[in-house]
Amino acid sequence: MVKILLKTLFAVMVGSVLSMGQAVAAEFTVTVKNLTNAIYFTPLLITAHDGDTHLFETGSPASAALQAMAEGGDIDGLIEMVGGEDRDTKANPAGGLLAPGGIVSDVYFNTKRTRNRYLSLTAMLLPTNDGFVGLDSLRIPRIPGIYRYYLVGYDAGTEANDELITGGGAPGVAGIPADPGGNAGSGGSGVAGADINSTVHIHRGVIGDNDPGGGTSDLDSTIHRWLNPVAEVIIDVHSRRHGRDK
């Protein structure tokens, strides 16, 4: 009888602790770091959502909304996909481009009384044709603490990676928008045709060249070359005493 009571008491205590963890984990902040040398992130979209929502899925064709973001940095369609901007969907928290080495800190979320238990993030990698940094439906930790994740660059599979700066950026318009770092196009001839893989996949990075006046690429291999990962995301799940209402 004593053993049964002890087991019951232990189960109640564990259940209470887990319930507390689930309650306080509804409040958390997100920090994003750009780890690249010369690649900018266009306006970020960070959203907490339910398990049925995906901004993108590897191995599947890009949606029109994802294509618009990956080719030109337009996040309006993705915002609409998650029901608009609210306390669980933060658009452009950096207030513009997130420069190489830049950090956007403590983006606050409060998912109390919602089913939004997953976190996603997207932003175009500039200059690329259709590359983007992404986080797809990460289960938000429930126990208070600090969690770190490294994000890779993805290819939307919607545009050939010709690496030509032509002022493009709209879906269906070939080329890369202007490089915010001030590196102008050099009249390259293009390094690649259409992608073999037309679904969302891991980006192979920039090839570039060393010819400032021509060559195959408008991107300088000594400046723009990048490898994964491209970003660090830090999630700080608050305890009750550190929580705040907004």
Between 43-52, 56-65, 183-192, 222-231, the lowest mean confidence (pLDDT) is in 183-192
Q: CB within 8 A of 2, min separation 6: which ones? A: none
Please, which pLDDT band fits residue 181 given cuts at 50, 70 and 90? confident
Please, which pLDDT band fits residue 239 given cuts at 50, 70 and 90? confident
pLDDT in tens, 151-179: 999 999 999 999 998 877 778 777 888 88
CATH number 3.40.50.2300 given to 2-242: no
Contact (CB, 8 A) for 102 and 37 = no
Distance CA(38)–CA(238), nearest Å, equals 33
Per-residue exposure over 8-45, b if at least 16 CB sit within 10 Å of its own CB, e if not = eeeeeeeeeeeeebeebbbbbbbbbbbbbebbbbbbbb
pLDDT in tens, 31-63: 999 999 999 999 999 999 999 999 999 999 999
The average confidence (pLDDT) of the chain is 85
For position 194, what pLDDT does the model report? 67
Q: How would DSSP label each residue in 103-142?
A: EEEEEEEE-TTS---EEEEEEEEESSSSEEEEEEEEEPP-
Please, which pLDDT band fits residue 25 given cuts at 50, 70 and 90? low
pLDDT in tens, 8-21: 333 333 333 344 44
Contact (CB, 8 A) for 105 and 111 = no
Antiparallel, parallel or unpaired: β 40-41 and 118-126: antiparallel
Across 95-106, average pLDDT: 97
Distance CA(104)–CA(147), nearest Å, equals 16
Q: What is the pTM of this model?
A: 0.84
Domain ranges of the chain: 2-242
For position 77, what pLDDT does the model report? 97
Contact (CB, 8 A) for 122 and 75 = yes
